[in-house]
Each structure stands twice: as structure tokens, then as C-alpha cells.
């Protein structure tokens, strides 16, 4: 039997030279993820209609030479300001854990400061493994923020 969930949290910050509305729009353009997301393979919407709370998708990426899939769900959003995502690891390649991503956007210096509050909850048995993997995981998430920024900034220049 797996032990109680253990939370591991982290915070990342990145500045984007574009307005919050443009950054937010790119974050919600699920079908457009391939234009900027590193190691992107494909994405599949799991629902229909306007993207909002409850919307979900399966995102597939090439991770260390293998395809890995995770199912994302929007838990809450405040247009141009805040986006909360949830990943139930049991529905994806990892097969365990829960992942939380809260993106907070703030207009600053002609652009947008993006603050990501991330969290992983793993069973106690996997706690040590998760702590060892945290630096690599943060590096991957930071690269996503940087790629998103480059994509949005390019679009704003055209």
C-alpha cells in the first residue's frame, strides 16, 4: 500500500516582453502548443467548446527518447491574470502522483512577469525519488516558460 501523499513545491519566475493578454492567449491555445513547446509530439483535446475551467487535454512529448503523455485539466482561470492546471499522474505515463501548476501573470515594465507556483504530490515511498528529480523537472518547466516567451514575443513583433 502506498503511503500518504507528500508535497514538493517550487517557484519559477520569467519576464515576457509582451502584454499579459498575449501571454495568456498562447497558454490557452492548446492546438498551437506545437509552435513553441520543446519535444512536442501531439496534443489531443478531451472535450469540446471554449477552453475554460474543466477543459482537459492529453499532451504527448518526447522525453529522453520515449513518448510520454500526461492529461492536463484547467482547474481555474482569470483571463490575463491567473491559470491553474492539474495533472493526475495516474492518467499518464508516470502512473502516479499529482502535479499542480499555478501561473500568475502581472503586467510590468511593458511586458508580463510570469510566476509559476508548481507542486508535486507523490506517495511517501516516491518522495526521495521526487526530490532527486526536482532539479531536472524544474529545468524542463523553465525551458517551457522560455519557449513560450520567445513564441509570444515573436508574434508580438509581427
The whole-angstrom separation of Cα 32 and Cα 138 is 23
Residues of the chain above pLDDT 90, percent: 73
The structural domain count of the chain equals: 1
**In the predicted model, what is the mean pLDDT of residues 129-148?**
87
Packed helices 20-28 and 127-157: angle between N→C axes, nearest 10 degrees: 120
pTM over 0.95: no
Q: In the β-sheet with 82-88, what is the strand arrangement from edge to edge?
A: 5-16, 111-123, 98-108, 82-88, 66-78, 56-63, 40-45
Q: Is the pLDDT reported for residue 18 higher than 50? A: yes
Binning pLDDT at 50, 70 and 90, where does residue 2 land?
very low
The cell for 20 is 499579459
Binning pLDDT at 50, 70 and 90, where does residue 155 land?
very high
The whole-angstrom separation of Cα 94 and Cα 102 is 20
Q: Please write the tens of the pLDDT for every residue from 37-81.
A: 999 999 999 999 999 999 999 999 998 899 999 999 999 999 999
| Lowest pLDDT segment from 18-27, 85-94, 142-151 | 85-94
Binning pLDDT at 50, 70 and 90, where does residue 3 land?
very low
Q: Is the pLDDT reported for residue 15 higher than 90? A: yes
E runs forming strands in 39-153: 40-45, 56-63, 66-78, 82-88, 98-108, 111-123
**In the predicted model, what is the mean pLDDT of residues 136-153?**
94
Phi, psi dihedral angles at 95 (to 5 degrees) = 75, 5
Query: Residue 96's pLDDT is what?
Result: 82
Q: Is the pLDDT reported for residue 1 higher than 50? A: no
The cell for 23 is 501571454
Query: Residue 136's pLDDT is what?
Result: 85
Whole-Å CA distances, 12 to 67, 114, 145: 25, 8, 9
Q: Cα–Cα–Cα angle for 79, 113, 148, nearest 5°?
A: 75
Q: Which domain holds residue 11?
A: 5-157
CATH assignment of the domain containing 39: 3.30.530.20
Rg of the Cα trace of the chain? 16
Q: Are 46 and 59 in contact (CB under 8 A)?
A: no
Amino acid at each position: 500500500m502506498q503511503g500518504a501523499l507528500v508535497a514538493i513545491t517550487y517557484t519559477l519566475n520569467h519576464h515576457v516582453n509582451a502584454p499579459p493578454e498575449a501571454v495568456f492567449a498562447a497558454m490557452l491555445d492548446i492546438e498551437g502548443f506545437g509552435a513553441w513547446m520543446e519535444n512536442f509530439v501531439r496534443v489531443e483535446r478531451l472535450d469540446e467548446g471554449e477552453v475554460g475551467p474543466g477543459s482537459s487535454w492529453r499532451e504527448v512529448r518526447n522525453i529522453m527518447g520515449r513518448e510520454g503523455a500526461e492529461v492536463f485539466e484547467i482547474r481555474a482561470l482569470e483571463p490575463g491574470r491567473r491559470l491553474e492546471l492539474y495533472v493526475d499522474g495516474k492518467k499518464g505515463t508516470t502512473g502516479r502522483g499529482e502535479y499542480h501548476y499555478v501561473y500568475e501573470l502581472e503586467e510590468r515594465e511593458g511586458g508580463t512577469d510570469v510566476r509559476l507556483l508548481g507542486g508535486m504530490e507523490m506517495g511517501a515511498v516516491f518522495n526521495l525519488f521526487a526530490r532527486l528529480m526536482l532539479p531536472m523537472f524544474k529545468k524542463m518547466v523553465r525551458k517551457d516558460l522560455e519557449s513560450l516567451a520567445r513564441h509570444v514575443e515573436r508574434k508580438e513583433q509581427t
